Amino acid sequence: MKQYQPEHLSEVQLAAVRRSLSSGRGALSRRSLLRATGTGALAMGGIGALNACGIPPASRAGGGAAASDDRSAEEKRIAFSNWTQYIDISEDEKGHPTLDAFTRRTGISVTYTEDINDNVEFFGKIRPQLAAGQDTGRDLINVTDWLAARMIRLGWAQKLDPAHLPNAYAHLSPQFRSPDWDPGRAYSYPWAGISTVIAYNSGATGGRRIESVSQLLEDRALRGRVACLSEMRDTVGMTLLDMGKDPGKVTGDDYDAAIAKIQQAVDTRQIRRFTGNDYTSDLDKGDIAACLAWAGDLVQLRVDNPDIQFVVPDAGYLTSSDNLLVPAKARHKANAEKLIDYYYEPPVAARLAAYINYVCPVEGVGPELARIDPALAENTLILPDKAMAAKAHAFRSLSSEEETAYEEKFAKLIGA
Amino acid sequence: MTVTEAPPGSPAPAGPLPRKQPVRRKLVPYWLLLPGILWLLVFFALPLVYQASTSVQTGSLEEGFEVTWHFRTYRDALGEYYPQFLRSVLYAGTATTLCLLLGYPLAYLIAFKAGRWRNLLLVLVIAPFFTSFLIRTLAWKTILADGGPVVDVLSTIGFLDITGRLGMTEGNRVLATPLAVVTGLTYNFLPFMILPLYTSLERIDPRLHEAAGDLYAKPSTVFRKVTFPLSMPGVVSGTLLTFIPASGDYVNAELLGSTGTRMVGNVIQSQFLRVLDYPTAAALSFILMAVVLIVVTVYIRRAGTEDLV
């Protein structure tokens, strides 16, 4: 196609037009544009701007100001953030029977969101708002104990009113009553307990039984087919127990020794990967022959695949819990407390436990659970008996500096 | 008469007008660019400034972070994590090369030989984008499963012996090895290579091939002297569109890899979310940006295309 040229202009005039369009003042060349924009951006991003971007200390932003004006009385609703597949689901897969019953009884509508997949990611998501002293838009969240501990430590959780929690106070199992990070449960109540045990696929191990973390880390028959958890406390805690140390009293030296032991298994390629929830499919397929696993997953996996076995090591196992807490500045604390209390009524707790298969933190739920399914009530992974409870150990809560140092070492162990 | 005599007091009509006009016209491009510039400012420049600031801060969550111009973070981060940087460049480079080797013949076929199948083939190239990145990557875990047919075949024909000797695989498995990560990267970024290659190949006038043939050039010479040089803009933009995101990717290394295959993206994620060392994470991001910029600049200079710089 021919380029358009004005016909009634002389050769000289045409040349002038071309010149002014390509290099004259009227021309907007890419360079001049970039230069202009760049200068603007530089002015914007000056040193002053760099200086202004600090993050305020947590105590200044949250601290005593965690509470907010509670609108529970006027607004009959709460927003509840939970892990995926961590609540009962109705037959038609549209509702959550326990939640629906709660709404019917109290008139409080629940915006239920399954937006927690991973503790560290979730914390990354809500941190900016909490650090800035803003409402996260969530009235109730469910996080694992170390993260609950961190949020309480930073002043980013609201103190609960015991007067609103009669059921919860009465029915909470003794083993969950007073964790060192929230004595007397002033800020949090457990949703479910988590037991970390050893699991293996007997088809993939050739019928071999895996009985200890040492065997997991050292048995050459399993080379390249062992997985550990990417939750630092679970993997290191189980290794500490295997070494005869108590994770509840871990010291820096103990920790380093445990890391060294796991590092050896990484170096000899014994460990294939460090996994989150995704170990379940690999274990099911047999790509992972043996691993550290969360007991609640196993109850479900074993229904589908009878080859999957679990072992509670003689050295003991690690317990932790997922906890409900009300984030700072949340607007519907009283409603949230009603929901917490509701889940501590034994019939409701039994329905929840029957569905999610994690350790139920509610006392006296046994008969209710037996009414739903007697096999579940006898399952020590859901309702631990005395022998099982005696082997349970929790990782002690860490100070901020310890936490950073430990996580740093663990991050290096898992490759980054 | 009436033309020359303007009423007294009225502004001279010829005076201000010509002076105003060019200024306004000069501003038009900027007005047109305003949405784009605002977008860049809010979603690129501001986050960049924020990260630059974070990278020279020190502190903790409890005490808050303050700018202390602590540039050591950069040196420490690079000293600590240079293996992951090297690995990122290596994996992304390998994946880009594989993409080019796989993508060029396919783009050539679609551009010149596909005839009425052309649109269908193009749709097939883009089809994987209809499912999420994550799902596509997870699918490879099933395809490459240890006892699966793919691994069996690769093992039987001795492929895994060769890759094993190169340190790309371990024993009789592909998952959780460098090979799996590179495969995942190659697969996920292949369309970014094919599409620019296709557009620049498609623009080549087939008569140029005929002309070269008339001048007694062998088909291989035609390709070497005519087709490939004319497709260079596609090659350059395709390799850039593949290499740049691949070097910062962490999903493939996370899902298909192991402890020994973590890339710099994984380190940044881990520093930011797990260790809560925001300055190191920000410094690592800047170093990655610098590394990519240097690699890309050198590459473009050598490839000698004017289209992008």
Specify whether A239 is located in the same domain as A258: yes
Specify whether A291 is located in the same domain as A234: yes
CB contacts of A278 in chain B (<8 Å) are 255
Residues 152-171 of B with CB under 8 A from A: 170-171
Could you tell me if A47 lies within 8 Å of chain B, comparing CB atoms?
no
CB contacts of B54 in chain A (<8 Å) are 53
CB contacts of A224 in chain B (<8 Å) are 170-171, 173, 176
Residue in A37, A150, A224 closest to B171 by CB: A224
**Is residue A55 pLDDT above 80, yes or no?**
no
CA dihedral B187, B188, B191, B196 (to 10 degrees): -110
Specify whether A186 is located in the same domain as A308: no
Q: Which residue of B has its CA nearest to A45?
A: B49
pTM score of the predicted model: 0.84
Instruction: Please count the CA atoms within 13 angstroms of the CA of A80 that sit on its side-chain side.
Output: 25
Q: Give a yes or no: residue A54 inside a domain.
A: no
Kindly report the nearest CA distance between residue B48 and chain A, in angstroms: 9
Specify whether A256 is located in the same domain as A127: no
Under DSSP, is residue B45 helix (H, G, I), strand (E, B) or coil? Answer: helix
> Which of B20, B76, B274, B307 would you mutate first to test chain A, the one with the most A CBs within 10 A?
B274
> Which of A30, A47, A51, A55 would you mutate first to test chain B, the one with the most B CBs within 10 A?
A55
Q: How confident is the model at residue B89 (pLDDT cuts 50, 70, 90)?
A: very high
Q: Where are the domains of chain B?
A: 27-67, 72-303
Kindly report, residue by residue over B16-36, the tens digit of the pLDDT. Answer: 455 556 777 888 888 999 999
**Cβ separation B50–A53 shorter than 8 A:** yes
Res B22: pLDDT: 72
**Cβ separation A51–B57 shorter than 8 A:** no
* CB-based burial, B91-104: b 16+ in 10 Å, e otherwise: bbbbbbebbbeebb
Q: Where are the alpha helices (DSSP H) in A107-221?
A: 119-131, 145-153, 166-171, 213-218
Range of the domain at A161: 69-193+321-382
Residue in B54, B266, B275 closest to A53 by CB: B54
Q: How confident is the model at residue A43 (pLDDT cuts 50, 70, 90)?
A: low
Cα A230 to chain centroid distance, Å, stands at 11
Kindly report the nearest CA distance between residue A154 and chain B, in angstroms: 6
Specify whether A127 is located in the same domain as A200: no
Contacts of A119 (CB under 8 A, 6+ apart): A143, A144, A146, A147, A231
**Cβ separation A53–B67 shorter than 8 A:** yes
Q: How confident is the model at residue A59 (pLDDT cuts 50, 70, 90)?
A: low
Point out which residues pair with A112 in neighbouring strands.
A80
Specify whether A250 is located in the same domain as A341: no
- In whole angstroms, give the CA distance from residue A182 to residue A152: 8
Q: Give a yes or no: residue A395 inside a domain.
A: no
Under DSSP, is residue A70 helix (H, G, I), strand (E, B) or coil? Answer: coil
Res B25: pLDDT: 82
Q: Give a yes or no: residue A207 inside a domain.
A: yes
Domain holding A334: CATH number?
3.40.190.10
Could you tell me if B64 lies within 8 Å of chain A, comparing CB atoms?
yes
Could you tell me if B113 lies within 8 Å of chain A, comparing CB atoms?
no
Under DSSP, is residue A324 helix (H, G, I), strand (E, B) or coil? Answer: strand
The CA distances from residue A27 to A22, A33, B25, B27, in Å, are 6, 10, 10, 11
Res B2: pLDDT: 42
CB contacts of B274 in chain A (<8 Å) are 120, 407, 410-411
Specify whether A328 is located in the same domain as A308: no
**Cβ separation B49–A50 shorter than 8 A:** yes
Percent of chain A with pLDDT over 70: 85
Q: How many domains does chain A have?
A: 2
Fold of B72-303: MetI-like fold (1.10.3720)
**Cβ separation B29–A33 shorter than 8 A:** yes
Kindly report, residue by residue over A153-196, the tens digit of the pLDDT. Answer: 999 999 999 999 999 999 999 889 989 999 999 999 999 999 99
Q: Give a yes or no: residue A271 inside a domain.
A: yes
> Which of A21, A266, A408, A410 would you mutate first to test chain B, the one with the most B CBs within 10 A?
A408
Cα B5 to chain centroid distance, Å, stands at 66
Q: Give a yes or no: residue A13 inside a domain.
A: no
Average pLDDT over residues B82-100: 96
The CA distances from residue B243 to A237, B176, B249, B250, in Å, are 40, 22, 10, 13
Specify whether A129 is located in the same domain as A186: yes
Average pLDDT over residues A398-413: 93
Tell me the backbone φ, ψ of residue A186, rounded to 5 degrees: -75, -30
Specify whether A79 is located in the same domain as A143: yes
